[in-house]
Structure 1
Amino acid sequence: MEAPAFLVAVVPDLAGGRLSLHDRQLFDAARTLAGADGGVIALVGTEGAEFGPAGADRTARVAAPEGYDPDARAAAIAAAMAALDLRHVIFPETPDGGDLARRVAVLAGEPLFADVEMVAAATLMRPARGRRVEQRAAPARLITLAADAVAPYAGAPREARDEPLDTFAAPASAILSAERIPADPARTPLGLADFVVSAGAGVTDFDAFRATAAALGGTPGASRVLCDAGLMPREAQVGASGTVLSATCYLALGIAGAPQHLQGIAGCDHVVAVNTDLHAAMVERAGLAIVQDAQAVMPALIAELAREREASA
C-alpha cells in the first residue's frame, strides 16, 4: 500500500517483547476499520519482524521510556496521533493497555470507547449495565478491544514499512522509582497465569510434578480426573467445567485431552504435551509434543534446568 488515504493505529502491549494473541486480534480489528483505502500502522517501541504478518502496513517507532513511566508513554502516543493524523487508535483492554488508553484520552481530549466486543466498518458494540444491554456507536478515535472479540489477522503478510516519526521529548517524570514484582506462580489464579503446568492421569509422582512446576516457574493445574479423585485441589482444574485459560504457554503432563479440557486451553498461545500416546488429542493440539512417560520427562527437565543455572552462574 503506497499511499493509504488514512491510518488506523494499533498499540500492542508486547508483553515480553512479543505479540500476544490479544495483540494480534487488534490488527484484524484495525484492518476492518481501515477498509480498502486505509492503512494499519503499529505504534511500537522496538523493531520486530512479526508486525507485517500480523497485519501492519506501516511501523512507527514511538520512543519508549525506560522502566515504568505510563505518563511519558501516553504523551508519546498522543504526539504520534497528532503527527500522523491517525483516524483511529486501538489498544487492548488489558491492565496496561486499558490504563494507557485512558491516559491518552485525557491528554488528547478525545472520548474513549472502551471494551469493544464487535467491530464493523461503521459500528462498534460493547456490553453495558451488567451485559443486559448493548451500546452501539460510530467508531471513535480511541478504542480498546476486549480479548477474543475478533480473530487474529489471517490475510496475506503486509509490508510493515518503517514510517519516520520525529523524536519526541518526553515530559519530566514524577516517578522516582518503580519495579515490577512478579507474582508467586504457585499462588497465581489459573485464569491470570501466563504459564501453566498441568498434571493428568499419566502423572503418579506428585512430588516430582510440584518440583517441575516450581523449577519452570509455572502455575500448577490439573485435569478433572485428578481433581475428582482428590489428588489435586478443585481450583487447579483446567477445562470448560473448571478454569478456562488465557495463558501464553500450557504444558500438559500425562493429559490425554478430553473435549472439555481442550475447550479450557483453546485460548493458550502455545501448548506442549508430554504423553505416551502419539495419537492422543492433546498431542494433536500441541505445537510441540514429547512422546514419553511424564515420570521420565519430569526429572530430566529438572536436571536440565539445574545444569543451565550452573552454566550461567
Structure 2
Amino acid sequence: MIRRDPRAERDAMVVSRTPRLRLDRTHRGGASLTRADAPVAAPTIIHIAEPAFLVFAVIEAAGGALNRHDRQVIGAARTLAGRDAAVVVLTPHLPSQAPDAIGTAGGDRTITLPTPTYDPERSAALIAQAITDHAPRHVVFPESADGGDLARRVAALTEADLFAGAESLTPTQAIRPAQAGRVELRATPPRLISIAPDRIAPYHGAPHAADPLPTPAAAATPGGIRAATTLAVDAATIPLDQAPLVIAAGNGVTDFAGFLDLARALGATPGASRVVCDAGALPRALQVGASGTVLNAECYIALGISGAPQHLQGIGTVEHIVAINTDLHAAIIARAGLAIIADAQDVMQALRAML
C-alpha cells in the first residue's frame, strides 16, 4: 500500500506560522498521498474542458507577478470550484511566463484586463461585463486596499451582496469575524466574496492549464479619473512594515555607509538587527524583530545576522529570505530559502560591483 506522508499534508495546509501556526484544514487541494522516497514524476496538467460552472478570481499582481495574497485568492476560488468547475483568473497585463504561474496556482482560464494605469472605474466595468458574459457562480477578490475597493465597486455595479473579509471558506460555508471579532458570521457563499490576507491556504495540487479567454468589451463611459501616473518613491522612506523588499545589517557588517549605498542600488528599504541598533550604528527605527518592526515583505536579505529568536519572530511572514553568514549552523540559515555561506562584507562588495 502507498503510505501517506502526514508532514507533506500538514505543510500543504499551512497559511502562516507567526504569530502562531495557522492551518486551513478545509482546503482540499493538499499534497498527494505518496511515499516520501518515491520518485517524483513530471506533473500532469489538469484540463477542465467542460466545467460545471465558473469561479472568478480577481488578482492584483502588483509588480507583474503573483504575490502571496493573489495565490490565496486563487486557492479560495479553487476550493469553491472543486474538481468539476473551472477557475477563471482575471488579471492585469502580465509577462509571458505568467500563465505558468497562474496554472501552478490553480487557474484554469485567464482573462486579461487592459488597464495599464490605475483606473478602478474601468476595471470594475470590465469585471462587471465579464460577469455578464460568463455568469460565474462566485467571484473572489483580495480584501486589500485596492482589491477591497474594486470588490465594492463591482458589487455596486452588479447590485450583488458582498461577503467581505472571509477568513474561512468551503463550497457550502463562508465565515468572517463580526462585532470587532467577538462573534463569527457564517453564511452560504454568495456570488461576491473578498478574502482576508493570510487566512486561506493557496493551492498545492497539480498545475492547471490556464488557457486564455477573450477580454471583455465594456462600454466606454467617462470616469472621474482623467490621468494616473506612477510616482517613484525612495525605498528608504517606506515604513519597514510596508516595504516589499528589505535588506538588513547585522553584527557581520562593518561598512554601514557601503550597506546604505547597496540598499539604494537595490531599491530596498534598509533595516538592522538589535545588536546594530544598540551599538548606535543605525537608527532604532530600522530595527527588525519582535522588539522592533515586524515585517510583511516579499523578500528579506539578511547580511551578517545570526537569527536570534526575537529577530526570527519579526520575519515570520516574509515569503523569501536570503541569508548571508559565515556560520553554516546559524538559525537564520535554517529559515532562509537561499543561504550564502560567506562574509557579508565580501558579498556586499560583489553586489555593488555587479550593480
Give the TM-score, by structure 2 length: 0.80
RMSD of aligned Cα (Å)? 2.0
Question: After the TM superposition, which residues 7-86 of structure 1 pair with which residues of structure 2 at under 5 Å, given as runs?
Answer: 7-46=54-93, 48=98, 49-62=100-113, 64-86=114-136
* CA–CA distance in structure 2, aligned partners of residues 42 and 236 of structure 1: 38
Measured after TM superposition, the shift of residue 230 of structure 1 is 4.0
C-alpha separation in 1, matches of 2:160 and 2:172: 18
User: Is 1:167 the counterpart of 2:217 in the alignment?
Assistant: yes
Distance 1:45 1:170, change over 3 A: farther
Matching residue of 2:344: 294
Q: Displacement, 1:51?
A: 0.7
What do residues 2-34 of structure 1 show as CA deviations (whole Å, max 9, x unaligned)? 211111111111001100011001111112112
Secondary structure of the residue aligned to 2:271 is strand
Query: What's 2:258 paired with?
Result: 208
After TM superposition, list the pairs within 5 Å mapping 1:117-132 onto structure 2.
117-132=167-182
* CA deviation after TM superposition for structure 1 residue 135, in Å: 2.0
Q: Which moved more, 1:218-227 or 1:1-10?
A: 218-227
Shift of 1:233: 3.3
Q: Match of 1:311?
A: none
Q: Distance in 2 between matches of 1:85 and 1:240?
A: 47
Distance 1:103 1:290, change over 3 A: same
Q: Quick one: which amino acid aligns to residue 108 of structure 2?
A: D
Task: String of CA shifts for 1:36-64, please: whole Å, max 9, x gaps.
Answer: 332211012335221110001222233x2
Post-superposition shift, 1:85?
0.4
Going from structure 1 to structure 2, the CA distance change for 1:121 and 1:239 (only over 3 Å counts) comes to: farther
Identify if the C-alpha distance between structure 1 residues 183 and 132 changes in structure 2 by more than 3 Å, giving closer, same or farther: farther
Count of residue correspondences: 304
Q: 1-side partners of 2:301 and 2:78: how far apart?
A: 33
Matches within 5 A, 1:163-312: 163-305=213-355
The percent of aligned pairs where both chains have the same amino acid is: 55
| Residues 124/182 of structure 1: CA separation in 2 closer, same or farther (3 Å cut) | farther
SS of the residue corresponding to residue 105 of structure 1 reads: helix
1: CA distance, partners of 2:233 / 2:176: 31
Shift of 1:124: 1.5
CA displacement, residues 223-262 of structure 1 (integer Å, 9 cap, x when unaligned): 2333344443333222334322221111111112233323
Structure 2 unaligned spans of 5+: 1-47
* Runs ≥4 residues deviating over 6 A: none
Asked whether the 8 Å contact 1:43–1:59 carries over to 2, the reply is yes
Distance 1:134 1:233, change over 3 A: farther
Q: Is the 8 A contact 1:75 1:170 kept in 2?
A: no
Structure 1 residues 91, 166: CA separation in 2 closer, same or farther (over 3 Å shift)?
closer
TM-aligned CA deviation for residue 149 of structure 1:
0.6
* Residues 43, 293 of structure 1: alpha-carbon distance in 2 compared, 3 angstrom cutoff: same
- TM-score normalized by structure 1? 0.90
The alpha-carbon deviation at position 160 of structure 1 amounts to 1.3
Q: Supply the AA of the counterpart residue of 1:260.
A: Q
- Residues 98-138 of structure 1: CA deviation (Å, up to 9, x unaligned): 11111111111111111221112222222233222222222
Residue 104 of structure 1 corresponds to which residue in structure 2? 154
Deviations 1:141-193 (A, max 9, x none): 11111110112211111111223455334433442222122433222211111
